[in-house]
Amino acid sequence: MPEKIWPDAFLPKLLLVYGQGWEHGDAQIHGTSDALRRLGEACIVASGKPEGHSVSVDMMATDGEGYSVSITTRQEHGMARLPSHYCQDRTFD
């Protein structure tokens, strides 16, 4: 078995999210089993929230820096009001 790279405390939060680089490009999520479960549980909690309410989950990147993933419930009309995720100007309400 290879030598451990990250401390055990990082493993449940080790998640990388790669958004689409261009139209019709694939998005990718890579993470440990525990981190993917944490993300999935946060998505389930967010799905029960009212329009525009967010749930955040703390994660870690492979450089050891922490960050939050924010998951916001949007209905059809709420999704239509968001700016294009390909644009440079990403202002969300």
Kindly state whether residue 1 falls inside one of the protein's structural domains.
Answer: no
Distance CA 41, CA 63 (A): 24
Q: How far is CA 59 from CA 24, 31, 47, in A?
A: 27, 10, 19
Kindly state whether residue 2 falls inside one of the protein's structural domains.
Answer: no
Residue 36: other Cβ atoms inside 10 A: 14
Structure confidence at residue 48 (pLDDT):
95
- Domain count along the chain: 1
Kindly state whether residue 51 falls inside one of the protein's structural domains.
Answer: yes
Distance CA 60, CA 70 (A): 14
Q: What letter does residue 6 receive in the DSSP assignment? A: S
Kindly state whether residue 86 falls inside one of the protein's structural domains.
Answer: no
Q: What are the beta bridge partners of residue 66?
A: 60
Structure confidence at residue 54 (pLDDT):
94
Domain that holds residue 70: 11-80
The verdict on pTM exceeding 0.85 is no
The one-digit pLDDT tens for each residue of the chain (93 residues) are 677 777 777 788 999 998 877 777 788 999 999 999 999 999 999 999 999 899 999 999 988 899 999 999 988 777 777 766 654 445 555
